[in-house]
Amino acid sequence: MNMLRFGVRNLFRNVPRLVVAALLIAFPFFLLLVMHAIGGAVERQTDKLKHNVDNALQLRARGSMGHVNMLGNDDILPQRVLNQVQGIEHVARVEPYLLAMTPTEGHNFAMIVGVNPGDTKRLESHGEAGNPKIIAGRDLTEADRGQRVAIIGQGFAKWAGITPGNLGQATLTLDLTRTHPVIFALTRPPATVKIVGIYASGYVFGDMQLFMPLDTFREIYDVPDGLSWLFATADAADHVPQVERQLRTLLGEAVDIVAPTSVAEFQRSATRAVVRLSNGGIVLAAALLVIVVFFVMLLAVRERAWEIGTFKALGASGGGIVTAFLAEAVALCGVGAMLGALLFSLWGGTLAQRVFGVGVAPFLPAQYRDALAGVLSLSSDLDPAAWGLLATVCLLAALAGSAWAARQIVRLSPMEAVRHE
């Protein structure tokens, strides 16, 4: 019967109390895992954005700001650029885009984007990085080429009255004759597209877009050739400068070559805010844990003062008795952590969404405030990092929470053995 085992056994002396204490401890652990999940999801999102951006170069017609309405072909890259870029060494992937704008309310507008199904859905004015997540319906597929179908951002969908519930029948009619202070009217018939999916992009303007197959776009806007953007992805980040040099030699003055950086802005504002908040939440959860452990262990010392006195009267060192109590505290935290992990795997995903909406979103920059939660994959999986965090916090909280109890134990007189008589 060594003191470690004795300590762990003491945990089971009062099972109802163990259950209550474990639940009290499970709650902060649950919170901690939720916070960890939120922080992790945002960091994963950043990584995905970075992944889309790091190796990529954007090509645009010289002088076009990227906001291109299909009026005249001055703002458009010639179609031949596509083949030229494809031929360059170390270019792994080429993604052509066509863009138009359509007025919504007042001075606001939405983007209409033509892409090849399967290509990255890059989001104008953010990241050109793009990692929208389909939240209802489906994504575009190869079979959609040339078909009048589209997927729509959740903000645009809301404006158009499209919900996941009515997605089966939803259509959107584009009136190309409508104007706007910065949008020219087009003399084209209105076009109706069937909406097959709704996506979340993570930020407000990203949700005000519509993606349709490139061929469909050409037909509706009557752009038989030419491109708004061309994204060239190098096979490795190291090759980007080389690819860029070759592009400049090949295409010369006709194009602007831009290395997208908007992901940095996301990283700076959104990621940092969320990571700071989730770390704050983790610290708060750990503090809660310490407080619970503190009271549980203090109660145990109070209750078992005569036992501690007896141990001392029998010749136990203070250190030995403290070891037993620490083992009990660590075991208690361990049980709480397991319970917390169980609760998390059951309800963590759902709660993380809520916590994000209520606790994190208000602290985000405006463009991410209501939109970021939708794009994050907040999972209730426990990755190795989560287990590591659980174990570390478990140990630290048990030790910190028992510090006062340990001090009491060391100071207790063996006379406590007879005081209860």
Partner 1 sequence: MSSQIVTDARSALIELRDVAKIYRKGREEVRALDGIGLAVAEKGMVAIVGPSGSGKSSLLHIIGAMDRPTRGEVIVAGEPLNARPEAGLTSFRRKTVGFVFQSFNLIPNLSALENVMLPMEFDGVAGDERRRRANRLLDRVGLAARLGHRPRELSGGEQQRVAIARALANNPPLILADEPTGNLDSRTGQMIYELLKEIAGERTVLVVTHAEGLAQMADRILHLKDGKLVADDPSQGLKKQPVDRPGTTGSA
Residues within the interface to partner 1 (CB under 8 A): 1-3, 6, 9-10, 12-13, 306-307, 310-318, 320, 413-415, 417-418, 420-421
Residue nearer to partner 1 on the CB measure, 259 or 415: 415
Owner of token pair 């061929």: 215
275-314 per-residue burial string, b: 16 or more CB within 10 A, e: under 16: bebbeebbeebbebbbebbbebbeebbeebbbbbbbbbee
Residue 172, classed as helix, strand or coil, is strand
Owner of token pair 């490139």: 214
CA dihedral 237, 258, 48, 131 (to 10 degrees): -150
Residue nearer to partner 1 on the CB measure, 313 or 400: 313
Q: Tokens for 260? A: 């997208």
CB of 296 to partner 1, least distance (A): 17
CB of 407 to partner 1, least distance (A): 15
Eight-state DSSP code of residue 72? S
**C-alpha distances in angstroms, 83 versus 29, 86, 259, 378, 414?**
55, 5, 20, 40, 89
Q: Are strands 229-234 and 91-103 parallel, antiparallel or unpaired?
A: antiparallel
Residue nearer to partner 1 on the CB measure, 63 or 315: 315
Beta bridge partners of 109: 103
CB of 301 to partner 1, least distance (A): 15
CB of 315 to partner 1, least distance (A): 2
Residue nearer to partner 1 on the CB measure, 92 or 415: 415
What's the rounded Cα separation, in Å, for the pair 196 and 139?
7
Residue nearer to partner 1 on the CB measure, 80 or 419: 419
| Amino acid making up residue 21 | A
Residue nearer to partner 1 on the CB measure, 80 or 420: 420
Residue nearer to partner 1 on the CB measure, 46 or 408: 408
CB of 362 to partner 1, least distance (A): 50
CB of 307 to partner 1, least distance (A): 6
